[in-house]
Amino acid sequence: MRSVFVSGMTVLGLACAPAMAAAGVAHQVEGAAPVWKLTRVNTLPGDDVLNDVTVLGNGSVWAAGHRVVNGKQRGLVQWFDGGAWKAIPNSPPYELNAVTATSNRNVWVFGNGKAARWNGRAWTSTSLGGGFSASDADGTSAKDIWAVAGSAASARHWNGSSWKSFQLPGRASAVETYKAGDVWAAGTKGNRPAVMRWNGKSWALVPTPSLKLPAPDAIAAIIDIAVLGPRNVWAVGGVTWEGANDEGDDVTFSRTLLMRWNGSSWVITIGTANAQPYTEVEPDGKGGVWVVQSHWNSTLWHVTGSAWTDTPLPRKARTDAVLFSIARRPGTATVWGAGFTVPQGDPDDPSANGSFWRTL
């Protein structure tokens, strides 16, 4: 780890304006953000859900999740080749939580303790070790793929021939390969947020400031990380704790968590009001980022400089939508999202349909 990344630290509070506090952001502005569109809702038999999405520079989109038909679950992998959508045959017979690809002939998907590679013709499955259920994966080449699991203090690395295990100084739920030999991961260490970095030989914590948490049992966790450059790193998540509401009922409270490295210090913001955590962060291709708040009927925040503009996740009438993952097409400002939609308020028709969104 280079010393420049730890030369200073800053903790900032949050402005108290009600709208800002509810969102957990430093600034909020009215105005038009880039438009998101619901581009596809699957019509596959049974239920299907998409947990993760990745996009290649050529415009190919890969998404992974699961489908259930006649009570039987198996993995679902979908591919958009730029013109048409295809369901990849013989997908692994288990829930797929993460996907990454460096080409259409090097696509990796991950389930509980397993990884499978699509080479353009067939699947090859390998073991990652019992109890390692990858929550995120990223890579730079066919010989450089990383995977992390939020429940494990270790990472897995594919070197082109086998998976190797590496100890982490914390638990990581997200990983980002900025470039070969420079990889970032984020999650928790104890009840505090943790940012970790691979220097080509080992993983080490990137020091972050101490936090004043809103409750003794509160846990501050990073859910996603985006590395735009050596002086521009974003990490998002939430702070959660158990307590009682005004009626005395036990509830889970949550606030947003935002961390940003600007090249000389960390700026950390914890929301001041109860609000759903941030769940995704992704570059917008123009120097800003997209931040997703909540999986369920998400709010999409477009951040440019110090300005935050919000837009609701588009969905069809009388449906609810879940956005699990967003990914940008490299070299462009096009961002894709994947998740699912369900009929609104109809317990007799709970079927889920995998869904895709895209910026226009």
Confidence at residue 248, expressed as pLDDT on a 0 to 100 scale: 79
If pLDDT is split at 50, 70 and 90, which confidence band does 273 have? very high
What mean pLDDT is reported for the chain? 89
Class of residue 351 by CB neighbours under 10 A (exposed 0-12, middle 13-18, buried 19+)? middle
What count of residues does the chain have? 360
SS (H, E, C) 193-212: EEEEEECCCCEEECCCCCCC
Of 320, 319, 336, 329, residue with least CA distance to 63: 336
Range of the domain at 62: 3-359
What's the mean pLDDT in 298-319?
96
Q: What pLDDT does residue 70 have?
A: 87
- pLDDT at residue 246, as a whole number: 81
DSSP helix/strand/coil, 22: helix
**For residue range 181-200, what is the model confidence (pLDDT) as tens digits?**
999 999 999 999 999 999 89
State what percent of residues in the chain have pLDDT above 90. Answer: 80
What's the pLDDT at 351?
86
For residues 25 and 250, the model is more confident at 250
Q: What is the pLDDT of residues 32-48, one digit of tens each?
A: 568 999 999 999 999 99
Domain count, the chain: 1
Q: Which of 170, 71, 73, 78 is nearest to 112 (CA)?
A: 73
Does residue 60 carry a pLDDT above 80?
A: yes
Per-residue model confidence (pLDDT) at position 346: 60
- Taken in order 294, 226, 330, 232, the sign of the CA dihedral is positive
Point out the least confidently predicted range of 115-119, 121-125, 211-215.
211-215
Chain segment 129-150, per-residue pLDDT in tens? 878 999 999 999 999 999 999 9
**pLDDT at res. 333:** 97
Give dist(CA 13, CA 25) in Å, integer.
10
Confidence of residue 350 (pLDDT cuts 50, 70, 90): low
Task: Please return the burial class of 235, using the count of CB atoms within 10 Å of its CB with bins 0-12, 13-18 and 19+.
Answer: buried
Structure tokens at 126: 């390998």
pLDDT digits (tens, 9 = 90+) for 201-246: 999 999 998 899 999 999 999 999 999 998 999 999 999 999 988 8
- The CATH number linked to 46 is 2.130.10.10
Report the pLDDT averaged over residues 51-58: 98
pLDDT at 183: 97
CB 1 within 8 A of CB 204: yes
